[in-house]
Amino acid sequence: MATQTYSRIRGASQQTQEAERLLARYPRLAPSELARLIEIFPTVLLIDKAIIIADDQLSKHLAAFHHDHGDKPNVSSAALSLFLILPIVTASAALLWFFG
């Protein structure tokens, strides 16, 4: 089966390119490289993650990475709180403006 290359309309970010390079070598990573992959993978855009999943070679490495370290790559609590608080504040402000 031939590997199909998916082109991007825009170029991949530096973090995405770094994540792809590290995933291509996974599990043969130095501890510092593994820590870097765990750090940057949650910040990779969803569309770029989809492209990685669609790639035959990278998807195998990604599956192994998630199997071994799936509990570590999480969204930071600061980002999560921002995503939860921002809609509440926006809705509150709109209600105050509408009824005030």
Q: Long-range contacts of range 24-31, CB-CB < 8 Å, 24 or more positions apart?
A: 24/57, 24/58, 24/61, 25/61, 26/61, 26/64, 26/65, 27/61, 27/64, 27/65, 27/68
Residue 5 domain-assigned (yes or no) = no
User: What is the residue type of 45?
Assistant: L
- Residue 41 lies in domain: 14-74
Between CA 98 and CA 25 the distance in angstroms is 55
Integer CA distances (angstroms), 81 to 41, 78, 91, 100, in order: 19, 5, 16, 27
Residue 50 domain-assigned (yes or no) = yes
Model confidence pLDDT, tens digit, residues 8-64: 555 668 888 999 999 999 989 999 999 999 888 888 888 888 888 999 999 999 999
Domain count within the chain: 1
Asked whether the predicted pLDDT for residue 77 surpasses 70, the reply is no
Residue 30 domain-assigned (yes or no) = yes
